[in-house]
Amino acid sequence: MRIAIPFALDDTLYLPAGTDDELVFKTFRNYLEAICAWANDLYPHNSGVLHGLAPAVKAQAWRTRTQGNSKSLSKRAAEVLRNAWATEVLLNSPRILGNDELIGFSNLWAPVQAYYTVFHAIRALEIVQSGGEGPGNHQAVLQIASSRVAATSSPFVAPWTARVLGSEARWRYEGFGTAILDRSISNLSPPYLANAPSLLAKALKTTRQEQIDEHHDGWLKPLKTTAGKPRKTLPTTVRDANAEKMRATTLFDLLWRLRRRSNYKEGDALLTGSLGPADAAAFHAALADIVAATLLIAEIYLAHLVGKKVLAECAGGVPVPKGLEPFSVWERIQLW
């Protein structure tokens, strides 16, 4: 039964018609498609966005500030990279192994596969740059990603550089370039070129709100009243002050949020929330395209650090099925 219910991911209420699962699915599909729409607008190319993205990444300042062939690809880094590439193959396998109905089922685990593909790519970058085993937990990797996208030596470009900082008292939006943001946009607004940056800003802000909420109990626990008893409420000023100290929230945090929701909170929404097979396939395609573009950026940077030949030999160790080659690292080697 379809009913009209209030639904919001921030402090603004909207009253669309639809089930809870449909609204959640639509929200995240809008966010993912907005990222793709903005990337396609920024890096247009007749052969697809990856072909437009690659020269834009190479044109950044990091190319002149980072010495090429200055690092080695350790055994551990190679293993982590192959893990990322193999997980991407799994993410894309429903595209050739079945129809849109199968893709609808795969959306239950697609956010997990997407996140871990990117997780391992960031880990590999850090292992190559700093040596050792690299970060092993999620928060460490997300912290690295947050700092990397804002660095002048970073290979990342918009929309990956987009980030939200601050608290409910004063949100700050950085890395959006010259985009004019509509901060009152609805999470249910259909994505198109003009509003894509605003939808991403909405996605990152609501993601940051969830992060702040998760810290609530930890921030409240040490507080005492004037009588020395534990406080029952967290003062807004304390909440805002702590939120201001938090690292920036990025696209990588959005992928982590979606991964956690698929596992622990809203799996049913990803499984049954689409309006049909084509709707489910659109969600999956946007997620897979974001992953491919993220990997391309990391690969271009790694190819510069260790050499294209070394990185291509590593990629050759991933047994990609013939039908999935267009959706794998093998298709991107030519763009490094």
Could you identify the residue written with the tokens 């010259």?
178
Question: Which residues in the chain land under pLDDT 70?
Answer: 1-17, 266-267
Q: What is the pLDDT of residue 267?
A: 67
56 within a domain of the structure (yes/no): yes
Q: What is the pLDDT of residue 152?
A: 87
The domain in which residue 102 lies consists of: 22-335
Among the listed residues 123, 118, 127, 105, the one whose alpha carbon sits nearest the alpha carbon of residue 250: 118
**Alpha-carbon span 56 to 34, nearest angstrom:** 19
4 within a domain of the structure (yes/no): no
Q: What is the pLDDT of residue 209?
A: 97
59 within a domain of the structure (yes/no): yes
Q: What is the pLDDT of residue 160?
A: 98
DSSP letter (8 states) at residue 292? H
**Strands 249-250 and 170-174, sheet pairing:** unpaired
300 within a domain of the structure (yes/no): yes
> pTM, whole model, 2 decimals?
0.92
Q: What is the pLDDT of residue 13?
A: 39
15 within a domain of the structure (yes/no): no
Q: What is the pLDDT of residue 271?
A: 87
**Alpha-carbon span 319 to 79, nearest angstrom:** 14
14 within a domain of the structure (yes/no): no
Beta carbons of 42 and 158 less than 8 angstroms apart: yes
318 within a domain of the structure (yes/no): yes
DSSP 179-247: PPP-TT--TTSPP-TTTHHHHHHHHHHHHHHHHHHHHHHHHHTT-B-TTSPBPSS--HHHHHHHHHTSP
Q: How many domains, the chain?
A: 1
**Alpha-carbon span 276 to 282, nearest angstrom:** 10
240 within a domain of the structure (yes/no): yes
Q: How many CA atoms lie within 13 A of 272 on its CB side?
A: 7
**Alpha-carbon span 132 to 7, nearest angstrom:** 46
Please return the burial class of 305, using the count of CB atoms within 10 Å of its CB with bins 0-12, 13-18 and 19+. buried
